[in-house]
Structure 1
Amino acid sequence: MSGYPCTRSVRVEFPDDVFVDGIDGLNTGHALWRARCNWDGAVITDLGPFDSAAHPFKSVN
Structure 2
Amino acid sequence: MRTCDRFGRIKSGFERDIRFQLGHAERHEGSGPAKASAGLAKAMRVNMARALSIHYSKCRLCRR
The normalised TM-score by structure 1 is 0.28
Higher strand share: 1
Considering Cα pairs closer than 8 Å and 6+ residues apart, tell me whether 1 or 2 has the greater RCO. 2
Higher helix share: 2
